[in-house]
Chain A
């Protein structure tokens, strides 16, 4: 297989907690991301799911260099981008673009759509279209399904879904190879969500893009992703192909998460087992020892307190060679079907 386009290893982001005004003393750290590894192949979509506070957005910010990692490396085509600066960093940034969650605050209200989408060309003049920039912007508007005549309008004249299309057009302007989308549809209405998801699907085929798709909605992530990673408290606890995660989850947290998703099918409510987790997610300033999920886990034993489970194929599942043999950070990983199997029609 070809070299992955993006290789993330040991990625850590700690925000220091300090006391004192003049003489700051570090008293602890918010461990937002605490050791994340994954790879992204050319042309694939990696979905990252997790609840709020699990660190998925911080990972996204580090990928596009909006945050500097505390430790770890992000290799784009073999080159570690966390140590780059100046011109070399600019080139990498051009190839990794981001689409943000909130289409209301991520577009400057005082700029026209044409200026918003064309602004990346000011920063990267080497890829700016020679001559007619306006026409290029209109082409981009057309690509994302907006009327090219809207080029002189302002963001407030558009609906939420249309604004998200503008954000996507801006992301595409520099012809990037990777798009990091952080909750790109969660602020949109159901009927508009589908339009934007289909657009992202189409663009991936047309422009051969690789996506990191971050969301809390497990159904949408399954729809769009080839592989899925589940995050909990700053770490990936389980990662695999979409069917491996959704149909053969082995980590208790993934199982609980999947079982909690309401299904749009009233027939399913009686014959479905729900795993209701006790309590809340622990604070990222005070992460439990051993397995970080143990405080809410129904399987937790002594071993989980002392020994950190590694993200790897669990030895006892490796022999089976089935879809259950994928990376899962649990000492007692065991397959459990929680999403009712699709009925044959």
Chain B
């Protein structure tokens, strides 16, 4: 008998909640058409979202290692969001995994007023979130500005092999790029194997960030494509047999490279920021980035030598897109959608593509934009350092599926970092 009382009380509370929900749904269904003479149901739904969003604060958690990106969000995007009544607060993090971890912890604790409303994310972090069920889904396809992207764009439909399914909204396209100091590298290599040869002939002048760092991990995938004879030979989704067949050559190559790296491969930069510092202070002659458009400003400011040039490889490099995702723990779903939609607008995408602002490549289909908006992209300044996105992406290689990445990162630790000869 003792156990019955609380149960009954619970069901009473449950009934009350259901009744309340029914009342709200009925009320909103009857009120909405009166309040808004909207042309389409989608537009009225969006108007509702924009109205709910007003007065909310969105915490955007993003990698804070790029001062230009921080400045763009703080000065441009935040101001535009304020016009829509949304306060945008940027939370800088050292690695996107930090935001993911925060959400996972809050998800475990059952919080619904979490500290993260929006995350700049892609690849294995997105996939991990999908596995843990921490993303709100289906909303990104309903954003009004998604109409400006190319329908069926493969980079936007799947994120490192994980179907996007409206769980994140596209923000940038990126192309992995090597940069070198032309004053020190007279005859730059033009293929990945030639780059490896150059490294062995110039001991101490090259290194890469230690995976699982994002940039170091991409470098390793580039090397895997090279040692496998091209990306076509590496199956996009992970299988143990493909791993066993293809990785021995990769580990052998990277181990042979090791003695010729900076500090004789005894240690590695922790992240791309440290590698950039080594490049800026002249300790190495190459750096690498997944955001090449930022190179223009780094050279203009004098951080990087004036002789910095982008290395275009004959076989191409990997390209991807990055996104904004909303965790289920967010209490500001509407405002987060408004910010994601704003970030996707042609105006913001054009400002963001300007190397003086940030220099991130657009996810929009510029060819099919209305003329006024297409003009903003045509007016973007030309760079002496970085070729245009179509040139960089000419032989773009697809990314491997996210399930490869932890396996490769782990293999690198075992075989290259701690392994013997």
Tell me if chain B binds chain A: no
* Chain B interface residues toward A at CB < 8 A: none
* Chain A interface residues toward B at CB < 8 A: none
